[in-house]
Amino acid sequence: MARIALKKGCRSNIVSDDHQNSMYFVYLLECDDGSLYTGVTTDVERRFSEHQQGIGSHFTRAKKAKRIVYSEKQPNRSMAQKREAEIKKWPRAKKLALIV
């Protein structure tokens, strides 16, 4: 079932209840050069596959995603994006400590 969500500047926008209730994940990928990439998704394996196929992000397209090193569940998109932003601000050493 879908519900109508009104947005400023839009007449209406159909929003799926399934999408609203999705579990979100914050994840870290290790790239071929050893760099770390942080992202948000509803399906870590699917998103990793997209990164490997070169359709994930500009960063992983250039750096080549090698493996998933960390993921954590978040109850909604907002909290996942806040956590992603928090982790992205961390120095590399703190990100590595999260992985262990």
Summarize pLDDT for 57-98 with one digit per residue, the tens.
Answer: 999 999 999 999 999 999 999 999 999 999 999 999 999 999
All domains of the chain, ordered by start, with CATH?
A: 22-99 (3.40.1440.10)
Mean pLDDT is lowest, of 3-12, 32-41, 44-53, for: 3-12
The first and second tokens of residue 93, run together, are 């050493």
Tell me, what's the pLDDT at 20?
56
Q: So what's the pLDDT on residue 12?
A: 36
Distance CA 36, CA 61 (A): 13
- pLDDT at residue 4, rounded to an integer: 40
Which of the two residues, 3 and 51, has the higher pLDDT score?
A: 51
The rounded distance, in Å, linking the Cα atoms of 26 and 84 is 6
d(CA 34, CA 60): 12
- 37-62 confidence digits (pLDDT tens): 999 999 999 999 999 999 989 999 99
